[in-house]
Structure 1
Amino acid sequence: MGENQPPSRRSVLAAATLGAAALTGAAGLVTAPRARAGGRGGGDAFVPAVVVGTGYGAAVCALRLAEAGVETLMLEMGRRWDGPGADGSVFCGMLRPDERSSWFKSRTEAPLSTFLWLDVVNRNIRPYAGVLDRVRFDGMSVYVGRGVGGGSLVNGGMAVTPRRSYFEEVLPQVDAGEMYERYFPRANAALRVNRIDKAWFEQTEWYKYARVSRTQAARAGLGTVFVPNVYDFGHMRREAAGEVPRSALATEVIYGNNHGKMSLDKTYLAAALRTGKVTIRPLHRVTTIERRRDGTYLLGAEETDAHGAPLGRREISCTHLFLGAGSLGTTELLLRARETGTLPDLPPEIGTGWGPNGNVMTARANHLWNPTGPHQSSIPALGIDDWDNPAAPVFAEIAPIPAGLETWASLYLAITKNPERGTFTYDKATDRLGLRWTRDQNAPAVRAAKSLFDRVNRANGTMYRYDLFGGGLRNFADDFCYHPLGGCVLGRATDLHGRVRGYRNLYVVDGSLIPGSIGVNPFVTITALAERNIERVIAQDVTV
């Protein structure tokens, strides 16, 4: 994929020579019958269905296929996060990151990279199959989760259903009535979405930072909304009371949560494994896809250990192939297959319609008499909702800075309505995914965010913070995103239920289907859309 990933055998070997402390043993996790050897077409392993990836769309498909009686194999390039490290915890915190934090990096790459312009946030680490990756392209970096559970391991858990009017604008070909009456409720229930107790929110020290931002937004005439989450707020209250180990209240989020968070390994994937029909193989990176004469698909996958040392190449064939490797991963696999001739009839729309969901991060400096508190929950619970603004719609998460000390800073992730779209490319000579996206294309998102926070600053007599994002005087960070969307857009690269055009029994099931923007954190939409699509696919395409 992009820079700083180990997409080639050469980079995997380089990582292996650097070494890392062993956090797990062998990679395999087998909880259902193994793929059968000597299946159709030769000595490769055969399974009826393969799902590439273990993120939101992939997890939905695996569960529903298993419930329909279909033996399903999931291939995940990251590790399974189920064993503690030397400190007794599965994940490391944000204040003392170690090799568990990052995907084959020698230094962490946190979004807030400096404090008072000092390089005190990031740390040197040993390369390892860590949980968070920052994939760098020329004009944009993309944060993605690595491991069984994908992005659910590293996101803030904000489970937001988009405005129906905007959903209808983005995906007009999808029946919004069905989505809002059936599939969004189904997704929220399966994800175990819950809401914070408002009375506790109003009095706890852990959300003082959010209450300060709410007051300041109100002075500018802006409203705020409570945002549901997949973090168990009941557990968080017990954390505050000292009854259970702390996670959200112990600076844990972007490198994983040890407690309290209902990530996919505890919801959809756990349910899928309980069926006995699903096998998950971590540390398997799919590199090639081809279609055989009998209509089955043959996948090539490189297996490594958690230090990057190669363990061999596997070939697996299947009848039904579901791509859920995320906007970057799924698009890369299809572009490589088209450009190298293994799936030559893939449509030209593959790689188009990409966007960062209008992501822009910014921070404001508060007055000394208006502190945000040294104790901050790492799980956001409130957002500034100005999406009805006809000139510059913005939904801004009120984000924490859980530094363990007073910062007098208010941090935000603004989601804006940026109409700009990028296009993925594939360079066959270097085996690299590229992204045609320039910094100029971020301008609409920055203007929208600036319009909102200029109002907040004027109303409160405050100013922007310029010291948090590195690179000199920067008050807006528009060079990275958390919400990559598009690349295999529904109704363009696929039909209206994710079937890839030109190839029977090949499906896209993840955020690649959404054309660049959905106006809120996208994982609930990805989950609900996958529920809709797999229901139709199982009914019409799959024979048990």
Structure 2
Amino acid sequence: MNAHQTLSRRRMLGLTALGAAALAGHTTIAAAPRAAAATAAGVSDGAFVPAVVIGTGYGAAVSALRLGEAGVSTVMLEMGQLWNQPGPDGKVFTGTLAPDKRSSWFKTRTEAPLGSFLWLDLANRDIEPYAGVLDRVNFEQMSVYVGRGVGGGSLVNGGMAVTPRRSYFEEVLPQVDADEMYSTYFPRANAGLRVKNIDEGWFEQTDWYRYARVGREQAANAGLGTTFVPNVYDWDYMRREADGTVPKSALAAEVIYGNNHGKVSLDKSYLAAALGTGNVVIETLHQVKTIRQRNDGTYLLTVEQKDADGKLLATKEISCRHLFLGAGSLGSTELLLRARETGTLPDLSSEIGGGWGPNGNIMTARANHVWNTTGSKQSSIPALGIDDWDNPESPVFAEIAPMPAGLETWVSLYLAITKNPERGTFVYDAAKDRADLRWTREQNAPAVAATKALFDRINAANGTIYRYDLFGAQIKAFADDFCYHPLGGCVLGKATDNYGRVDGYRNLYVTDGSLISGSIGVNPFVTITALAERNVERIIEEDITGS
């Protein structure tokens, strides 16, 4: 059996385990009884396992798969729930246009990125607090969208699987061998994520991408080029959605609160394969609160187990020899800051918390002429980006985003990714027991200026104007107070060595977007995945199987 067949078999075993856990109502997911000595009741208080991975996002999923393949018994601790059990409407995820409690992480009202239409809040709903799939973490002058559940951000993003421009990758991560990344680890990541390209012939004729073709035409009028963007969505499934032969997902406006069909999120790729090794267990609704090191060098974690309504069920202590932090830029950074400032890991570097940035994220929208209809039918999965990254003064990569309202809006919406050099810092707030972000709106001024320069050109070439009514009650054309792509906090080569080993502590690793200093120029998850592939390969070789 070759490597591809082995991976496919493991993925199928893992998918079976995920389905069985959902049917049985278990919060512990394992593909084999021997996996980390787990049972249906879960990993017990006082348990020791060789490796623990905190989180189930991109870097965490890579780490768990490779540890499992190496024969290392591994437990993944995920604060969210497993998303494959249908709700009362027969669907796993709630709809975007009429969301219920499944949409949001313990909110009383949804907090959609498009906060209004004609200054009316039509997208949000009052809901019951619940362990929903999307969280908006609000700081004083910046909010960050993150996914909650088995698969992390892969559950709620648009699936745009973009490999960064090599020149910019080398600028951001000069200590990483770019030849290795682009010849080995980026291809490995794209294969593991199951990245595919849209059929361009279908794209050109389908009504569902009229909005993208209009955006391309208007960019071309300004002398700007566009590029097709690969995705983890199953494009063949989408074509069948359009034909009416399968249930709609991308073509039913599903994206920010999860896709019920079509998208190959991590639970269907890396995590399924990790479970299929028989050496990996996922504990859901388990949140790590504290980390300390014992005298023998092992790590002791205090973990709260809750139900989906937020009720505390148990507090456990789980110990391990190798600890991988994959809770994302916010989660991993907060755990390490808390450990440093409360004295449980006092020798952590002063660099922990630094180098944070929103990947230059800015949203904007334009009002088209009445003859430039964008279509009442719009796929929620983006397929095109405006590529002006070679602009020497203000490089921008702007996704032509959908606005699937089910009616004609004459709106062209964009998520711009800019090269903003500004960085924020996380600090530990002892009174709130959380990481607080020191970042000001003024720090986003370079990103807004770059976005404005690009879209001023497009508006001038097409005789159009901005929309000022989409981003809440304020009259503004640029949404600069939230982001989708949080990066930094535990920067590679500063807070860690060049492979994510945390300075000051042996067998402690960071494996997520915390490692990237604030910007990568495109949607970051392919880079996070590839960097994790590179790092964990070295760690397993030198620190685990070689020790």
Q: Could you tell me which residue of structure 1 aligns to residue 278 of structure 2?
A: 276
Q: Could you tell me which residue of structure 2 aligns to residue 511 of structure 1?
A: 513
Q: Could you tell me which residue of structure 2 aligns to residue 233 of structure 1?
A: 235
Hey, what's the Cα distance between the residues in 2 that align with 1:312 and 1:23? 23
Q: Could you tell me which residue of structure 1 aligns to residue 27 of structure 2?
A: 27
Hey, what's the Cα distance between the residues in 2 that align with 1:36 and 1:193? 34
Superposition deviation, residue 65 in structure 1:
0.3
Q: Could you tell me which residue of structure 1 aligns to residue 66 of structure 2?
A: 64
Q: Which deviates more from structure 2 when the two are superposed, residues 272-281 or residues 428-437?
A: 428-437
Hey, what's the Cα distance between the residues in 2 that align with 1:35 and 1:525? 30
Hey, what's the Cα distance between the residues in 2 that align with 1:89 and 1:231? 18
Hey, what's the Cα distance between the residues in 2 that align with 1:327 and 1:263? 19
Q: Could you tell me which residue of structure 1 aligns to residue 260 of structure 2?
A: 258
Q: Residues 332 and 433 of structure 1 are in contact (CA less than 8 Å); yes or no, is this contact kept in structure 2? A: yes
Q: Could you tell me which residue of structure 2 aligns to residue 16 of structure 1?
A: none
What root-mean-square deviation, in Å, do the aligned CA atoms of Structure 1 and Structure 2 show? 1.4
Hey, what's the Cα distance between the residues in 2 that align with 1:523 and 1:118? 33
Q: Which amino acid aligns with 1:300?
A: T
Change (3 A) 1:229 1:179: same
Q: Any idea what SS the aligned residue of 1:532 has?
A: helix
Superposition deviation, residue 84 in structure 1:
0.3
Give the one of 436, 447, 462 matched to 2:464.
Answer: 462
Q: TM-score, normalised by structure 1?
A: 0.94
Q: Any idea what SS the aligned residue of 1:486 has?
A: coil
Structure 2: gaps of 5 or more residues: 1-21, 39-43
- TM alignment of 1:407-422, pairs within 5 A: 407-422=409-424
Q: Could you tell me which residue of structure 2 aligns to residue 137 of structure 1?
A: 139
Q: Any idea what SS the aligned residue of 1:86 has?
A: coil
Superposition deviation, residue 292 in structure 1:
0.4
Superposition deviation, residue 29 in structure 1:
2.7
Q: Per-residue CA shift, 1:36-90, capped at 9, x if unaligned?
A: 59xxxx9710000000000000000000000000000000000000100001110
Q: Which amino acid aligns with 1:27?
A: T
Q: Could you tell me which residue of structure 2 aligns to residue 384 of structure 1?
A: 386
Change (3 A) 1:358 1:174: same
Superposition deviation, residue 35 in structure 1:
4.7
Superposition deviation, residue 25 in structure 1:
4.3
Q: Could you tell me which residue of structure 2 aligns to residue 303 of structure 1?
A: 305
Q: Any idea what SS the aligned residue of 2:498 has?
A: coil
Q: Could you tell me which residue of structure 2 aligns to residue 95 of structure 1?
A: 97
Q: Could you tell me which residue of structure 1 aligns to residue 363 of structure 2?
A: 361
Q: Give the ranges of 4+ consecutive aligned residues of structure 1 lying more than 4 Å apart after TM superposition.
A: 22-26, 34-37
Superposition deviation, residue 309 in structure 1:
0.6
1:326 aligns to 2:332 (yes or no): no
Q: Could you tell me which residue of structure 2 aligns to residue 180 of structure 1?
A: 182
- TM alignment of 1:469-484, pairs within 5 A: 469-484=471-486
Give the one of 207, 213, 216 matched to 1:214.
Answer: 216
Q: Could you tell me which residue of structure 2 aligns to residue 346 of structure 1?
A: 348
Q: TM-score, normalised by structure 2?
A: 0.93
Q: Could you tell me which residue of structure 1 aligns to residue 499 of structure 2?
A: 497
Hey, what's the Cα distance between the residues in 2 that align with 1:474 and 1:43? 51
Q: Residues 424 and 439 of structure 2 are in contact (CA less than 8 Å); yes or no, is this contact kept in structure 1? A: yes
Superposition deviation, residue 31 in structure 1:
3.4
Question: How many residues align structurally?
Answer: 519
Superposition deviation, residue 472 in structure 1:
2.1
Hey, what's the Cα distance between the residues in 1 that align with 2:47 and 2:250? 42
Hey, what's the Cα distance between the residues in 2 that align with 1:472 and 1:512? 32
Q: Any idea what SS the aligned residue of 2:76 has?
A: strand
Q: Could you tell me which residue of structure 2 aligns to residue 168 of structure 1?
A: 170
Q: Residues 297 and 317 of structure 1 are in contact (CA less than 8 Å); yes or no, is this contact kept in structure 2? A: yes
Change (3 A) 1:250 1:43: closer
Hey, what's the Cα distance between the residues in 2 that align with 1:348 and 1:191? 34
Q: Could you tell me which residue of structure 2 aligns to residue 13 of structure 1?
A: none
Q: Could you tell me which residue of structure 1 aligns to residue 523 of structure 2?
A: 521
Percentage identity across paired residues of the two chains: 76
Q: Could you tell me which residue of structure 2 aligns to residue 288 of structure 1?
A: 290
Q: Which amino acid aligns with 2:31?
A: T
Superposition deviation, residue 388 in structure 1:
0.1
Hey, what's the Cα distance between the residues in 1 that align with 2:262 and 2:172? 33
1:313 aligns to 2:318 (yes or no): no
Q: Per-residue CA shift, 1:213-260, capped at 9, x if unaligned?
A: 000000000000000000011110010001111100001000000101
Q: Residues 30 and 275 of structure 2 are in contact (CA less than 8 Å); yes or no, is this contact kept in structure 1? A: no
Q: Could you tell me which residue of structure 2 aligns to residue 109 of structure 1?
A: 111
Give the one of 139, 157, 173 matched to 2:159.
Answer: 157
Change (3 A) 1:92 1:493: same
